[in-house]
């Protein structure tokens, strides 16, 4: 396995970086009040980590799972604690910001269609969850309502 990976690692890293670099700007452009966690370029080739204001990561993960999109978060559903990721907190995020995080990890089986599916589904999921959240400001809800007219 190590020999096989050694022979394809550069090509695979480039492929994953291309997928990641399609995903990140698409998500940030499509979803208001969305942010990239970490440096935009100095990051792992297979990593895209976002945060979304006014929603919790656990609800986000469950909603994405219902739409056949896989992701992870550092919230209670994955760590069995209500504390947010200590890494995100040490980066300067507030607790409520860290709770709205979503990690996409790409791998050998990740395809362009997977990225397309995530880009297609994620904005609607975030919009729906924000409409349910008592924390979402009225101006953002108004924008969502105008889009749906």
Looking at residue 100, its pLDDT comes to 85
Q: Which of 30, 77, 121, 140 is catalytic?
A: 77
pLDDT in tens, 37-69: 999 989 999 999 999 999 988 899 999 999 999
For the entire predicted model, the pTM comes to 0.86
Residues of the chain with pLDDT under 70: 74-82, 147-149
Whether the CB-CB separation of 100 and 51 falls below 8 Å is answered with yes
Looking at residue 78, its pLDDT comes to 44
Looking at residue 71, its pLDDT comes to 92
DSSP 8-state symbol, 33: T
Can 37 be counted among the known catalytic residues?
Answer: no
pLDDT in tens, 118-127: 999 999 999 9
Distance, CA of 128 to CA of 55 (rounded, Å): 10
């Amino acid at each position: 396995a190590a020999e096989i990976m050694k022979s394809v690692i550069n090509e695979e890293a480039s492929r994953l970086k291309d997928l990641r670099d399609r995903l990140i700007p698409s998500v940030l452009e499509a979803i208001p009040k969305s942010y990239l966690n970490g440096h935009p370029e100095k990051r792992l080739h297979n990593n895209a980590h976002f945060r979304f204001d006014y929603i919790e990561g656990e609800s986000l993960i469950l909603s994405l799972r219902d739409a056949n999109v896989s992701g992870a978060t550092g919230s209670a559903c994955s760590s069995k604690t209500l504390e947010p990721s200590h890494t995100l907190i040490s980066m300067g995020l507030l607790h409520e910001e860290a709770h709205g995080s979503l990690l996409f990890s790409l791998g050998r089986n990740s395809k362009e269609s997977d990225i397309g599916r995530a880009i297609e589904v994620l904005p609607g999921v975030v919009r729906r969850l924000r409409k349910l959240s008592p924390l979402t400001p009225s101006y953002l809800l108004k924008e969502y309502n105008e889009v749906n007219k």
